[in-house]
Amino acid sequence: MKTRYSHGGDEHIYVEMDDEMSLDAFFKSLSMSNAVRDAKIKGVTEICPANASFQVRFDPDIIAPDQMMKKVKELEHKAENAEKRLKTRIIEIPVYYQDPWTHETLMRFRQRHQDPSGSDLDYAARINGFDSVEGFIEAHHSQPWFVSMVGFVAGLPFLYQLVERGKQLQVPKYLRPRTDTPKQTVGYGGCFSCVYSVRGAGGYQMFGITPMPIFDPEQKQSYLKNFMVFFKPGDIVKWKPIDRAEYDRILAEVAADTYTPRIAEVDFDLDAFNADMSGTNAKLMEALNVA
Amino acid sequence: MSLKIIQPGLSTSIQDLGRPGYFHLGIPIGGAMDRFALRVANMLVGNPEGAAGLEVVFMGPVIEFERDSLVAITGADLPAKVDGNPREGWTSFVVKAGQTLSFDFLKADARAYIAISGGIDTPPALGSRSTYPIGALGGIEGRNIQAGDVIPLGDAEMVEAGMSVPANLRRMPANPAELRVLPGLYWHRLTPKAQDGFFADNWAVALEADRMGYRFKGGNPLEFVDREQPFGAGADPSNIVDGCYSYGSIQVPGGLEPIVLHRDAVSGGGYFTLGAIISADMDLIGQLQPHTPVKFRKVDMAQAAEARAARKKMLGSVRAHLG
């Protein structure tokens, strides 16, 4: 893992902790971006942590780009001693896999896909060596996920599955991005899952849809009263497969604003996780079961 | 007191200088594409430079005024009329209660800015009135204006009409346009031949050019340095592990058509970026029509700083002139 620094024009510093994805790179990036925030450097306007990198935006009229670069580099030692523990939460997100709305959409954009003959799930299951779509869906939801980045558009989470690298699911993005994706689509690209927070363009494969809003600018949902964006980096997610009846029931609750996501407070320790992945995951999911 | 929208134009939105501070959640800064033009329009009517005005793309709206107002149009050459009588651009004029502001066809450039004394007074969202339709934030119900909208105005102190900005203090792109680029970010992913070719080639603005980003076409495909793709990046050589995007950063999916991210940028994604347009040239991009020929010019950080200082000086000259 080698840290790489670059200017992004004259208003940004970009720091890549590693060019490949790992939770170690995520924790290093998060702790270094926190160190930049804590340093309260005059002129900094935005600090954006990503999966294995982060970006600082600043006003070059207040601090010169080279000075800013120097100040960020001075904080690298903080990342070396990254705190690999988080007090966080695990959230159950209901997913209606193979739903009619993402199916309609993927059929509409079939000519932009690697394999126009089947669905996104057919393709993903096949290239990941699964005999059936059902087996692939099982692999997608049986182990929890880690929110390693929020962004792209309003409040969209990127999620990284908490399994060893050999078990990670990987799929390419669409050959050409779609111009439409239903709101709350559960998508997949590279090794990341995501939830499209709003309707719009997208290049990730589409697996299903959640009835649970995760972005609400009007903040009508009780669980979005404090802020319009639900996810933050470090959140842990467990997908819960649901059927049409369950989907409709939750949708009605959302409309009546009586829906409450199932959430449990948990600690996540990267060293403990690396030492015993299935044991750590079992404990995380247990916390959810008693929530 | 307010404005009544009779016809909205093609894509007219309420914009101020944006909402910094939420890019880490995927909510971009937004605000006027051409910030210089909005600032100057506001100065002309006696508003604070960051007051909310209307950003008009290609085709003007028709607006009925419910109170006497001072108005200025800056940016693109979009001739204004009050009750059918022509008015100068970059010059303040009075629109009386009951009169109608309308426009002739666009003569040059892409975005005009309408400032009205008192500024637009819609409720701010996350500290800004700027319209961000993807996130349904700002503006009116988070969308562009439409016929029938009634837009509230803030209290105004009338200043003198007829103030004007001289031609040498109006900044518009040349044709072909030149956009200065600071190479960086994932620049090393390109072969030396592709690095040179990007700056040598003639590009043109593509049809996909909006507040989120401007696409360019016409140059040669870019070649990548061979490598085994890092885990999590995806198979295409233009893919990276999804990271943050800078405003003005230039991504080239598949090495084919460069996309420059603008004020309503997506905050991150999985495409390599070869560097970014310098801050001093961001305003110009919003004034480019599709098919406009463009050359990218390579600069270093010292040149970027010089260009930024020049822009600051120009704004200072406008302030001094309008004093």
Please write the tens of the pLDDT for every residue from B62-102.
999 999 999 999 999 999 999 999 999 999 999 999 999 99
Burial class (CB in 10 A: 0-12, 13-18, 19+), A155: buried
Token couple for B77: 């050459």
CATH hierarchy code of domain B177-313: 2.40.100.10
Q: Is there a contact between B273 and A54 if contact means CB atoms under 8 Å apart?
A: no
Boundary residue ending a domain (A19, A52, A82): A82
Picking from B246, B247, B249, B241, the residue whose alpha carbon sits closest to that of residue B270 is B241
Regarding whether A105 and A31 lie in a shared domain, the answer is: no
Query: What is the pLDDT, as a whole number, of residue B234?
Result: 83
Q: What percent of chain B has pLDDT over 90?
A: 95
Domain ranges of chain B: 2-169, 177-313
Cis peptide before B176 (omega within 30 of 0): yes
User: What is the distance of C-alpha B279 from the center of its chain?
Assistant: 12
| ipTM reported for the complex, 2 dp | 0.96
Token couple for B288: 């480019």
Regarding whether A76 and A91 lie in a shared domain, the answer is: no
Partners of B285 on chain A (C-beta within 8 Å) are none
User: Looking at residue A74, which CATH number applies to its domain?
Assistant: 3.30.1360.40
Widest pairwise Cα distance in chain A:
59
Confidence tier at A79 by pLDDT (50, 70, 90): confident
Regarding whether A250 and A123 lie in a shared domain, the answer is: yes
Regarding whether A260 and A137 lie in a shared domain, the answer is: yes
Regarding whether A52 and A151 lie in a shared domain, the answer is: no
Partners of B243 on chain A (C-beta within 8 Å) are 14, 16, 50-53, 55
Q: Is there a contact between A50 and B242 if contact means CB atoms under 8 Å apart?
A: yes
User: Count of CB contacts below 8 A, A vs B?
Assistant: 185
User: Letter for the amino acid at B285?
Assistant: I
- Any idea what DSSP says for residue B233? S
Regarding whether A139 and A213 lie in a shared domain, the answer is: yes
Regarding whether A102 and A31 lie in a shared domain, the answer is: no
B296 three-class SS: strand
Query: What is the pLDDT, as a whole number, of residue B71?
Result: 98
**Binding-face residues of B in 124-143 toward A, CB within 8 A:** 125, 134-137, 142
Q: How close B41 comes to chain A (CA, Å)?
A: 23
Alpha-carbon distance of B252 to A258, in angstroms, equals 45
Q: Residue B170, Cβ neighbours under 10 Å: how many?
A: 17
Identity of the residue in A20, A60, A168 whose CB atom sits nearest the CB atom of B241: A20
For the stretch A182-221, what's the b/e string if a residue is b when 16 or more beta carbons lie within 10 angstroms of its beta carbon? bbbbbbbbbbbbbbbbbebebbbbbbbbbbbbbbbbeeeb
pTM over 0.90: yes
Boundary residue ending a domain (A82, A108, A127): A82
Q: For B144-189, what is each residue's pLDDT tens digit?
A: 999 999 999 999 987 889 999 999 999 989 999 999 999 999 999 9
Regarding whether A46 and A25 lie in a shared domain, the answer is: yes
How many structural domains is chain A composed of? 2
Alpha-carbon distance of B96 to B65, in angstroms, equals 7
Beta bridge partners of B180: B297
Regarding whether A93 and A65 lie in a shared domain, the answer is: no
Q: Is there a contact between B305 and A10 if contact means CB atoms under 8 Å apart?
A: yes
- Any idea what DSSP says for residue A62? T
Confidence tier at A131 by pLDDT (50, 70, 90): very high
Regarding whether A202 and A74 lie in a shared domain, the answer is: no
Query: What is the pLDDT, as a whole number, of residue A80?
Result: 80
Boundary residue ending a domain (A61, A82, A103): A82
Regarding whether A184 and A48 lie in a shared domain, the answer is: no
B317 three-class SS: helix
List the end-to-end C-alpha distance of chain B, in Å, as a whole number.
28
Query: What is the pLDDT, as a whole number, of residue B114?
Result: 98
Range of the domain at A265: 87-289
Q: Specify whether the backbone of B35 is left (phi greater than 0), alpha (psi in -120 to 50) or beta.
A: alpha
Q: For B256-300, what is each residue's pLDDT tens digit?
A: 999 999 999 999 999 999 999 999 999 999 999 999 999 999 999
Q: Residue B138, Cβ neighbours under 10 Å: how many?
A: 30
Regarding whether A78 and A114 lie in a shared domain, the answer is: no
Token couple for A232: 């933050």
Candidates A1, A5, A14, partner chain B, best to mutate (most B CBs within 10 A):
A14
User: Looking at residue A103, which CATH number applies to its domain?
Assistant: 2.40.100.10
A239 three-class SS: strand
